[in-house]
Structure formats: structure tokens, C-alpha cells
Amino acid sequence: MVQPVLKWAGGKRQMLDELYSRFPEEYESYHEPFLGGGALFFDIEPRDGTVNDTDNRLVNFYEQIRNQPQALINLLRSFDDPEAEPDENREYADENHKGREIKSYYYQQRALFNKRPYTNKYDPLEEAALLLYLNRTCYNGLYRQNSSGGFNAPIGRHVNPDWVQEARIREASQMLENTEIFNTDFEYILDHVSAGDLVYFDPPYEPMSPTANFNDYSEDGFDIDDQKRLVETAKELGEKGVYVILSNSGVMYDMYDEAGFSVAIEGATRSINSDSQNRDEVEEIIATNIPESARQKAGQKRITEF
């Protein structure tokens, strides 16, 4: 079992048992069109398949892990404590691109990370290292972007934070060697699957209420029309003989039930929330086209590995 490298909003580590209970006894390649932090992907350790995300900086991060893990680790080792003074030999030592004062090394790193959305200039390796550094030193591990795509989470309170994550990077790099990484719409999957493959969809959730906006974590958003397209894509995959498992918020129950999927309500506690006292259990669904008779036995991940 490989541990995810990033902390990620909506991560599925707490729902792994429920997801595995829907897995087919056997499957071929594994695909995850909404990768995010990749909790399920890394736990499975698939031998091949595809992953995708619409966040281009997240996709770059996984590409750098796969292609040059040692260079990434070396760069992360060179970074300083988030509370340290800014590095006078680097950009944004005094103020950021908006002219705001830089008060610590963390905020200098954040300004460097935001070169892509604000100036369209970036170094792929450095950007990947900065993403991990900020993820491990920001407030509550919250990956949050403004409407311009700028990362804007404040500095967190950490005792000896580990932003290098060497072991996890090396393990993740090995896992990604035979995985194609995409940065596109989820419908790419229709051209990259075969009968017997397994696809897990974990899209941005449809809000449970007018004030619960799960799309805040993405500059692009994911609206109800996208949700409907996803249902149709999942149905089309089933017609191709592809196994599908999908998680979403509870308000999507009827849409998947009416589409012919087996749907169950599960509870999940949000581990990332700006209010640490408001991490309540929320209602989620797991939908699948895999009949109970074809599902794996408890504790079994993939029989095709043996």
C-alpha cells in the first residue's frame, strides 16, 4: 500500500473499505478520471491504466514525480522553514506580484508558486516542489484557489513539517511508471478503456445545500450539466463492458438510481475544513454497475495481481 503524497480535500481514505466492497472479483486496467490526491489509486497500486485531472498544476506534479523523482526530492530538501526570513536571492523577497509585503519564507514560496496563473511563467520541476511544500506547510492542508487560479491558503501552524516526503515520492514514482497521465475532460476515458477495465469516478460533488460549495477547490467548477454528462458517460462505459464505481454527494442518489446503477448512502467526515469544529459527517453515495454476485470477497483488492 502506497501512501498519497498530498493532503487533499474530499480524499477517500476513510471510504476505502466501502469502495473495495464494490470491486469486481477480477478486472484488467484501472482508471481514475478525477485523481485529486489519489487515495484509492495509491492504495490499489494498479499495474497500469490512466489517471486524469483538470488541474494542470496537479497533473504537472504527478508527471514530475513519475519522470524525475530524485530531482524533485533534491529541490524540496533545499527549501527552508515556512517561518524563516524570505530568501533575498530569489524573486518576491520583499513583495509579491500585487505589491504586497512578503513577511516570511512561506509567502515567498506561495508567490513563486503563483507565477503560472499570474504571469504564465513557471518551471515545471520547481512548481511541483512548491505545490508539495505549500500543501505540507499551509493552513490545514487546504488547497484553495481564487478566481484567477492563484493559491491563497495562509501559512499553517506546524511543528517540524515534512515537506520532502521522500519515501512517498519514490513509491509513487514507481507506481506511475506504467500509468498514462491526462489533463483533460473526464470523457477522455471513453477512448482509453476496454471491456473488463475498472473506472472509479470521484468528481467534484454536487452541493448538498446552497452554502455547501464543493467546487471552491477548482477554478473551473463542475456544474449540474457536467454531472449529467458524467451519468451518461458512466452508462456508456457500462455498455462497453467496463466496470464503474462512482462516489458523489447524497443529492445525486436519484439521478444514478434512475440511470440503473446500484446506489447506497454512506457517511463520510470531511477532514479538510477551514473550521476545525465543523468537520461533520456528510451524506455521500457510492454508485456502481457491478452486481453483488460479481463483487470481490472482503479484504481482497485485485485477484489479477496473483
Interval 200-259: pLDDT, tens: 999 998 776 544 444 444 445 799 999 999 999 999 999 999 999 999 999 999 999 999
pLDDT at residue 280 is higher than 90: no
Contacts of 92 (CB under 8 A, 6+ apart): 86, 102, 108, 111, 112
- At residue 205, the pLDDT reads 85
**C-alpha cell read off for 191:** 477512448
- At residue 209, the pLDDT reads 55
In the chain, the largest separation of any two C-alpha atoms, in whole Å, equals: 63
Q: Which fold has domain 63-165?
A: Adenine-specific Methyltransferase; domain 2 (1.10.1020)
Round to whole Å and give the CA distance between 20 and 295: 9
Asked whether 131 and 150 are in contact (CB, 8 A), the reply is no
Q: How do the domains of the chain map onto residue ranges?
A: 13-54+184-305, 63-165
- Confidence class for position 3, pLDDT limits 50, 70, 90: very high
Q: How far apart are the two ends of the chain, measured CA to CA in Å? A: 15
Round to whole Å and give the CA distance between 178 and 48: 5
- At residue 301, the pLDDT reads 55
Question: Taking the model in full, what pTM does it have?
Answer: 0.88
**C-alpha cell read off for 39:** 487515495
HSE-up (13 A, CA, CB side) for residue 4: 16
Class at the top of the CATH hierarchy for domain 13-54+184-305 = alpha beta
Lowest mean pLDDT among 153-157, 261-265, 297-301: 297-301
- At residue 281, the pLDDT reads 57
